[in-house]
Amino acid sequence: MSSKKRNWKPQTALVHGGTLRSGFGETSEAMYLTQGYVYQTAQAAEARFKGEEPGFIYSRYANPTVDMFEKRMCALEGAEDARATASGMAAVTAALLCSVKAGDHIVAARALFGSCRWVIETLAPRYGIEATLVDGTDIANWEKAVRPNTKLFFLESPTNPTLEVVDIAAVASLANSIGARLVVDNVFATPLQQKPLQLGAHIVVYSATKHIDGQGRCLGGVILSDKKWIDENLHDYFRHTGPSLSPFNAWTLLKGLETLPLRVRQQTESAGKIADFLAEQPQIARVIYPGRADHPQAEIVKKQMSGGSTLICLDVKGGKQAAFALQNALEIVLISNNLGDAKSLITHPATTTHKNLSDEARAELGIGPGTLRLSVGLEDTGDLLEDIAQALKAAK
Ligand SMILES: *Cc1c(COP(=O)(O)O)cnc(C)c1O
């Protein structure tokens, strides 16, 4: 069943898109746990290797279950092609390394997931790729950082953990004006609430580990772009370096996609209510939530995002001690650095995800000793509000 047959809405594409049924006519997607494939004849093997006959060759290259996941993601994102990876970081690394070579220059927003920052700041320079990190919220900073050898822009929006928003269309248009490409890490927005390709980005990457699985089961990632870029830049790298997603994980992620719209809608609705509640509390110095009128880039949120967010950033008065007391007093919300899960999770970035940054770099990102990131799960909204209220009281 081809997802291109009809102009399906996301909820339909996420249930049927990309489905490849075997001769048994199974309802649910089959899990093809195989490394290799056999050929009827030697001639058929030759034809397949020559690309004259369609079919699978080896699961490092492609696999039917992984293929279903890639096609379903394409239908959701409105992308021509995709490659699924073993983790979100494998997707980010492949998208970056396949876009630049020694002597090229990358400009990236400095508010990035910690490992993305390591790839750009530490790994890339080892191979002669220069990088400049900027405050991505002002397009003038991107313009100022451009050099004659700038080939790539990279950003995340909303950012981790402070939920800053970058104007994707403005950065895409700057990239186009100098013949560079823009890669967007769209994890925090989810594919439902922001469409970077429609905003002009060239490549979109996801950690499927987060909302796409959304139930804490497996790691995964995906890179989406136009067919030409994938054929010319990613295809060979992918085949020969092997960041491939396992068919078992692809199957898990396919099942996750079926319920993604329901989960994201519920989690966003709860998060909006919790953000409003937190903003009223005297113990909370600041709440950053895309969707609230007091978000620092509220105008850009309105322009490029269709929903709020499943995540909330908050600053507790009283620094680390008060933030820890609040975390420890929560009964339903669990302390974890993961996000996008069915279970509500809270993390203290300064001592966990962002502990490797200098105090100065953390301050630049707006991460203080009292900053917490809350990922809202699928629990009853009233129960969550009650849990947060009792924890604030206990932490006083
Ligand atoms: C989690 C995450 C990643 C990395 O994904 P993994 O699946 O953990 O490798 C990259 N970017 C963002 C924004 C993330 O939240």
Which residue's CA is the closest to the ligand 1 atom numbered 4?
A: 88
Question: Which of 225, 256, 287 finishes a domain?
Answer: 256
Indicate whether 100 and 199 sit together in one domain. Answer: yes
Span from the CA of 103 to the centroid of ligand 1 (angstroms)? 27
pLDDT at 303 over 70: yes
Whether 362 is in a domain gets the answer: yes
Indicate whether 156 and 66 sit together in one domain. Answer: yes
Report H helices in the chain: 10-16, 42-50, 64-77, 88-97, 114-118, 124-126, 139-145, 168-177, 190-193, 227-229, 235-241, 247-279, 298-304, 319-329, 359-364, 381-395
How wide is the angle at C-alpha 70 spanned by C-alphas 120 and 67, nearest 5°? 125
How many independent structural domains does the chain possess? 2
pLDDT at 4 over 80: no
Q: What is the pLDDT of residue 93?
A: 98
Q: Please write the tens of the pLDDT for every residue from 60-97.
A: 999 999 999 999 999 999 999 999 999 999 999 999 99
Indicate whether 75 and 142 sit together in one domain. Answer: yes
pLDDT at 285 over 50: yes
- Tokens found for residue 142: 């991107």
Indicate whether 231 and 287 sit together in one domain. Answer: no
Indicate whether 227 and 112 sit together in one domain. Answer: yes
- Give residue 131's region: left, alpha or beta (phi > 0; psi -120 to 50): beta
Indicate whether 268 and 248 sit together in one domain. Answer: no
Indicate whether 154 and 301 sit together in one domain. Answer: no
Ligand 1 atom at minimum distance from 92 CA: 10
DSSP SS3 for 354: coil
The β-bridge partners of 284 are 316
Span from the CA of 280 to the centroid of ligand 1 (angstroms)? 31
Q: What is the pLDDT of residue 276?
A: 98
- When pLDDT is averaged across residues 290-302 and rounded to a whole number, the result is 95
Ligand 1 atom at minimum distance from 188 CA: 13
Higher pLDDT among residues 239 and 4, named by residue: 239
Indicate whether 232 and 278 sit together in one domain. Answer: no
pTM over 0.85: yes
Span from the CA of 210 to the centroid of ligand 1 (angstroms)? 7
Dist CA 164 CA 137 (whole Å): 7
Which residues form the domain of 387? 260-394
Whether 47 is in a domain gets the answer: no
Whether 204 is in a domain gets the answer: yes
pLDDT at 45 over 90: yes
Residue among 380, 376, 368, 351 at smallest CA distance from 275: 376
Indicate whether 346 and 230 sit together in one domain. Answer: no
- Give residue 86's identity as a one-letter amino acid code: A
For the residues of 106-161, what is the DSSP string, one character each?
A: EEEES---HHHHHIIIIIHHHTT-EEEEE-TTSHHHHHHH--TTEEEEEEESSPTT
CATH number, position 370:
3.90.1150.10
How wide is the angle at C-alpha 285 spanned by C-alphas 280 and 287, nearest 5°? 65
Whether 51 is in a domain gets the answer: no
Residues present in the chain in total: 396
Q: What is the pLDDT of residue 7?
A: 81
Share of the chain above pLDDT 70, in %: 98
Q: What is the pLDDT of residue 166?
A: 97
Span from the CA of 85 to the centroid of ligand 1 (angstroms)? 12
Q: How do beta strands 311-316 and 130-134 pair?
A: unpaired
Indicate whether 305 and 361 sit together in one domain. Answer: yes
Of 7-21, 81-95, 98-112, 220-234, the range with the lowest mean pLDDT is 7-21
Dist CA 140 CA 341 (whole Å): 36
Indicate whether 210 and 74 sit together in one domain. Answer: yes
pLDDT at 352 over 60: yes
Buried b or exposed e, range 14-30, using 16+ CB within 10 angstroms:
bebbbbeeeeeeeeebb
Residues with CB under 6 A from ligand 1: 87-89, 92, 113, 115-116, 156, 160, 185, 187-188, 207, 209-210, 219, 221
Indicate whether 348 and 227 sit together in one domain. Answer: no
Question: Which of 234, 256, 278 finishes a domain?
Answer: 256
Q: What is the dihedral of CA 113, 118, 120, 125, to 10 degrees?
A: 180
Whether 40 is in a domain gets the answer: no
Span from the CA of 109 to the centroid of ligand 1 (angstroms)? 16
What is the best residue among 155, 209, 218, 246 to mutate for testing ligand 1's pocket, by most ligand atoms within 8 Å of CB? 209
Whether 52 is in a domain gets the answer: no
Question: Which of 256, 289, 317 finishes a domain?
Answer: 256
Dist CA 63 CA 132 (whole Å): 38
Q: What is the pLDDT of residue 378?
A: 98
Of 118-132, 279-293, 349-363, 374-388, the range with the lowest mean pLDDT is 349-363
Q: How do beta strands 105-109 and 150-156 pair?
A: parallel
- When pLDDT is averaged across residues 180-186 and rounded to a whole number, the result is 98
Dist CA 249 CA 267 (whole Å): 23
Span from the CA of 208 to the centroid of ligand 1 (angstroms)? 8
Which residue's CA is the closest to the ligand 1 atom numbered 6?
A: 88
Residue among 162, 160, 99 at smallest CA distance from 127: 99
Q: Please write the tens of the pLDDT for every residue from 8-37.
A: 899 999 999 999 999 999 999 999 999 999
Whether 269 is in a domain gets the answer: yes
Span from the CA of 278 to the centroid of ligand 1 (angstroms)? 26
CATH number, position 204:
3.40.640.10
Which band of pLDDT confidence, cut at 50, 70 and 90, is reported for residue 3?
very low
CA distances (Å), origin 380, targets 62, 268, 327, 331, 335 = 40, 12, 19, 14, 18
Sign, CA dihedral 102-108-110-112, equals negative
Ligand 1 atom at minimum distance from 220 CA: 7
Q: What is the pLDDT of residue 307?
A: 82
Whether 48 is in a domain gets the answer: no
Q: Please write the tens of the pLDDT for every residue from 132-170.
A: 999 999 999 999 999 999 999 999 999 999 999 999 999
What mean pLDDT value characterizes the chain? 96
Q: What is the pLDDT of residue 5?
A: 58
Phi, psi of 122 (to 5 degrees): -115, -50
Span from the CA of 63 to the centroid of ligand 1 (angstroms)? 23
C-beta of residue 112 within 8 angstroms of C-beta of residue 162: no
